[in-house]
């Protein structure tokens, strides 16, 4: 019974982990974001992801609707992007 519960939790948690709003690295060191609208500058849309064009592209995070971007970032597409 215990193993069934663990397997059920693992299956339920997998889709949520696959669609994380936070940047994840690609094999070549570039960042990949879950697409929530228009990709920020320096990123290109690849399917349902936004992928950085270069390894040193500043990080971007999804914007919270109705809130300003935090200090040290600016609005770019539907994301807040870090200054260099």
Condensed to tens digits (0 to 9), the pLDDT of residues 26-78 reads: 889 899 999 988 999 999 999 999 999 999 999 999 999 899 999 999 999 89
Q: Answer whether residue 15 is part of any domain.
A: no
Contact 66, 60 (CB under 8 A): no
Nearest-angstrom CA–CA distance, 67 and 3: 43
At 30 the pLDDT is: 92
Q: Answer whether residue 77 is part of any domain.
A: yes
Q: Answer whether residue 66 is part of any domain.
A: yes
Q: Answer whether residue 11 is part of any domain.
A: no
Nearest-angstrom CA–CA distance, 76 and 60: 8
Give the domain extent around 69. 22-82
Strand, helix or coil for residue 14: helix
pTM of the shown model: 0.70
């Amino acid at each position: 019974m215990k193993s069934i519960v663990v397997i059920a939790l693992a299956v339920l948690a997998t889709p949520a982990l696959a669609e994380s709003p936070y940047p994840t690295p690609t094999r070549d060191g570039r960042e990949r974001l879950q697409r929530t609208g228009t990709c920020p500058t320096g990123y290109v849309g690849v399917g349902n992801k936004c992928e950085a064009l270069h390894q040193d592209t500043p990080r971007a995070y999804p914007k919270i609707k109705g809130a300003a971007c935090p200090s040290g970032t600016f609005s770019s597409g539907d994301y807040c992007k870090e200054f260099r």
